[in-house]
Amino acid sequence: MFFISFEGCEGTGKTTQIDFLKEKLEKKSFDVLSIQEPGTTKLGLKIRKLLKGDLEGAEKISEITELFMFSAARSDLISNKLSNFIKSKKIVICDRYVDSTTAYQGYGRQLDLNKIKLINSLATQNIMPDITFLLDFNPKIGIQRLGSYQMEFSLNDSSNQRETEGVRFETESNEFLNRVRNGYLELAKNEPDRWKIIDANLDKTEISKIIWETVETKLKNIH
């Protein structure tokens, strides 16, 4: 398995780039699996729905519970899907992975980073991406790009809102998103061999070119 993950704040164009990359790899006859976190497995999809606010009258989701929910979805993904592909030649492209938990729950929500590290290692069974692309820009731009479109599934800082709406992020919560962004940059700085930071303000064709060149080089080195 060759494992690629995409990270970044909302509105950075991850999905477009994942689609481009998948198409390009398939044209070159690679066996590609594109997945999303949380989601992908049946349990993961159920957790996604719950996080989106489909709580059926349950009490509010605390920050720690939220951490466990994202981690439970990930653990299910690893146990029921990814662990089966380790020895295969599949290329797995993941829209968000464990770094999202460190960035959002760790840096964003300011939960203890050491504890998050431990939970992440349990949930992933230490299966980590070969490359992680960080599509980076000022989160304010992402919010503007998304415009008035109500992000269905986004985090915020205000816990009173979460009581009625599940884990819903308030798009204007700039401070929160700035912490997330800086968290990502910190993670990338600490592990430069795995991360490739890309300026998400660049033209999308330019971005896809950088992504392709990086993937091609890494693939050449392992084959």
Site residues (CB under 6 A) for ligand TYD? 10, 37-38, 70, 95-96, 100-101, 104-105, 153-155, 169
Query: Residue 124 or residue 154: which is nearer to ligand TYD going by CB?
Result: 154
Local structure of 36: helix, strand or coil: strand
Query: Residue 95 or residue 130: which is nearer to ligand TYD going by CB?
Result: 95
Query: Residue 96 or residue 179: which is nearer to ligand TYD going by CB?
Result: 96
| Least distance CB 5 / ligand TYD (angstroms) | 10
| Least distance CB 190 / ligand TYD (angstroms) | 18
Query: Residue 143 or residue 155: which is nearer to ligand TYD going by CB?
Result: 155
Residues 6+ apart with CB under 8 A from 88: 1, 31
| Least distance CB 173 / ligand TYD (angstroms) | 11
Count of CA atoms in the C-beta half-sphere (13 A) of 92: 25
Query: Residue 30 or residue 60: which is nearer to ligand TYD going by CB?
Result: 60
| Least distance CB 31 / ligand TYD (angstroms) | 24
Please name the helix (run of DSSP H) or strand (run of DSSP E) that holds residue 7, with its range, or none.
strand 2-7
Query: Residue 121 or residue 223: which is nearer to ligand TYD going by CB?
Result: 121
| Closest residue by Cα to residue 20 from 204, 223, 219 | 204
| Least distance CB 38 / ligand TYD (angstroms) | 6
Please name the helix (run of DSSP H) or strand (run of DSSP E) that holds residue 174, with its range, or none.
helix 174-190
32 φ, ψ (degrees, to nearest 5): -115, 135
| Least distance CB 47 / ligand TYD (angstroms) | 10
Rounded alpha-carbon distances, angstroms, from residue 195 to 125, 132, 182, 192: 20, 5, 14, 5
Rounded alpha-carbon distances, angstroms, from residue 132 to 15, 20, 93, 164: 14, 16, 10, 34
